[in-house]
Structure 1
């Protein structure tokens, strides 16, 4: 299939929210922009009993429906000094106090090197992937033999960490040095066999490039250019963005109550 070239000149911008005319109490579809979405329900539903379906069938459906997902680019070292670098899209932030992240590793068809390394050495780094080195990061998912380093295949650069032995990825504009906080086996409810391991890491150090920070000292998504995981082998870049306020009941309760009454 022939595809158009990647548009490196594209810059996301902030726009109005999808239904900017929405008011308290309005039903979905009360604005023209959402009407087509509501009408889509006329095509019906597919309901799936997960206990009656092979996991191999659930996997493509779940990773296509739970999107977009951030990607943890994890660097780790074994107890014998063998380095490993691999992407994981079962990943997210857990808390900011204490600062913690989670990565889920599958044990099928075997225990992942990343999981083994983290559980035995206790240290690893999580590096966020940006557009300019997406191909470099993607190739590290290859099943290289122990004699071949994913680092060398990728062409990425090791940068020394402060608190852990595993290096961080120099090309990543946002990296976290992590220490193993907890590791939980996720077991099959029928066999009791551990299928996945949920790793919770305590963030010990954060490295962020100054050129991706805004005037408030936080990461500017336009400059950061992070990628997200979709279904099958698809990824996404940031598109146009919008901001929505967080409401206070005390400040808005009269308007909210009016909206509820109006739409009953």
Structure 2
């Protein structure tokens, strides 16, 4: 089933995989499931993270943990230099209070502290702007490994818009931006060497700027209108233009058949 608004925007709702699934049904009960399990015949590769080459480990992780949302982070240094950079090690932590996380790694050489991490630590402020597909090229160029005193804003072609609560500007082209105060900065060290390799920023979202045209009738963001992008491995981005709904189960409604199934399988503890 496809809504008219979604169809107009190139986003469609499709049928979920295995829509007839029932409690306890095994993966090999469908042709698709059996085909998936056939891959086990190739065997498994076990990666020891303690001995794996850091570059290979990085490539494996960013290609296996997918898709990832992208945080487009705006900061300002203590000297007033505005910085703009995308981070795909990003997600929300909780809604009450609203907290998001951005992970700033130091790269394969582990030598240079990212401008974003340094600025956020020193000023306690940053903005996170969700990237939409029409301007993903402008956002991507800001990932260039420029010197510390260089501002990526000019080469990006994007527009600084004033924030309400924090000093760093938000990206005017972003239809969903968050003004954040630094709640905590966690320096993560390699257990073997003790060297700090990453800084995890936890940001308390103080203000949200959302364009009215990307909201649906319930006041939530419509993905068809936001056109968000996701990151995969390497330099690969993903287009978010299809989705499907899967039923959520609750014990009040579905507890009885679940108990019956457990009893039939001889695992009931009731």
**Same structural fold, with TM-score higher than 0.5 when normalized by the shorter chain:** yes
- TM-superposed deviation, 1:10: 7.2
The aligned counterpart of 1:50 is 49
Change (3 A) 1:147 1:189: closer
- TM-superposed deviation, 1:147: 5.3
Instruction: Give the Cα separation in 2 of the matches to 1:24 and 1:254.
Output: 11
The aligned counterpart of 1:121 is 123
| Alignment counterpart, residue 184 of structure 2, candidates 182, 185, 190 | 182
The aligned counterpart of 2:156 is 154
Instruction: Give the Cα separation in 1 of the matches to 2:230 and 2:261.
Output: 36
Change (3 A) 1:263 1:43: farther
- Contact in 1 for aligned 2:9/2:224 (Cα 8 Å): no
Q: How is 1:216-235 mapped onto 2 (pairs within 5 angstroms)?
A: 216-235=218-237
The aligned counterpart of 2:196 is 194
- TM-superposed deviation, 1:242: 0.7
Instruction: Give the Cα separation in 2 of the matches to 1:151 and 1:127.
Output: 14
| Alignment counterpart, residue 204 of structure 1, candidates 181, 206, 228 | 206
Q: How is 1:74-93 mapped onto 2 (pairs within 5 angstroms)?
A: 74-93=73-92
- TM-superposed deviation, 1:29: 2.2
The number of equivalent residue pairs is: 256
The aligned counterpart of 1:170 is 172
- TM-superposed deviation, 1:138: 0.2
The aligned counterpart of 2:5 is none
Instruction: Give the Cα separation in 1 of the matches to 2:150 and 2:113.
Output: 18
Instruction: Give the Cα separation in 2 of the matches to 1:251 and 1:86.
Output: 46
Provide Cα deviations, 1:94-121, integer angstroms capped at 9, x if missing partner: 1101100001112323001111100000
- TM-superposed deviation, 1:33: 2.6
Aligned residue for 1:22, secondary structure, equals coil
The aligned counterpart of 2:38 is 39
Relative to the length of structure 1, the TM-score reads 0.93
Aligned residue for 1:254, secondary structure, equals helix
The answer to whether 1:29 aligns with 2:28 is yes
> What are structure 1's unaligned runs of at least 5 residues?
1-8
Q: How is 1:244-259 mapped onto 2 (pairs within 5 angstroms)?
A: 244-259=246-261
The answer to whether 1:109 aligns with 2:111 is yes
How large is the Cα RMSD of the aligned pairs?
1.6
- Contact in 2 for aligned 1:25/1:263 (Cα 8 Å): no
- TM-superposed deviation, 1:50: 1.0
Instruction: Give the Cα separation in 1 of the matches to 2:209 and 2:186.
Output: 27
- TM-superposed deviation, 1:54: 1.9
- Contact in 2 for aligned 1:75/1:166 (Cα 8 Å): yes
Instruction: Give the Cα separation in 2 of the matches to 1:81 and 1:148.
Output: 11
Aligned residue for 2:122, secondary structure, equals helix
Provide Cα deviations, 1:38-80, integer angstroms capped at 9, x if missing partner: 1111111111111121212100001000000000000000001
Instruction: Give the Cα separation in 1 of the matches to 2:48 and 2:145.
Output: 33
Instruction: Give the Cα separation in 2 of the matches to 1:73 and 1:105.
Output: 12
- Contact in 2 for aligned 1:19/1:34 (Cα 8 Å): no
